[in-house]
Amino acid sequence: MVETDMGRNIGRTDIVATNEKDSIYYAQPIKTDIFSRFARNRFPQLSQVLTVVIERDTEGNYEVINTWIGPSSPPFPGDKNETRDSKPYWQSHALVQDAQIIKSKTITKDCPY
């Protein structure tokens, strides 16, 4: 993974730092059974950071797997790639409301992790 500060605003990130004043809820995005953390009434924030995920293929070449505006973040708790940083990070950060399409029946205020 490569994270680069471009030195100027290049777009907006859907991940925001949260505090006790934020209204938080959890829900499962479509096509996953992992709960994501969302902040109501928050909006994407300007970012100077570009993150690119690259992997080496069987021939030794690099392939771009994913890219987004904003800093890198650990996977959500419960994800198969979860790290020891996942839970602490996602207890203080969230996706902005409407950042992803969610399964409405999974919305909860109770932290699932």
Domain map of the chain by residue range? Answer: 2-103
Tell me the pLDDT tens digit for each residue of 46-71: 999 999 999 999 999 999 999 999 99
**Residues written for the chain:** 113
Rounded average pLDDT over 11-29: 97
pTM (2 decimals)? 0.88
36-39 and 24-27 strand pairing = antiparallel
* 1 token code pair: 């993974």
In this structure, what are the phi and psi dihedrals at residue 27, rounded to the nearest 5 degrees? -160, 160
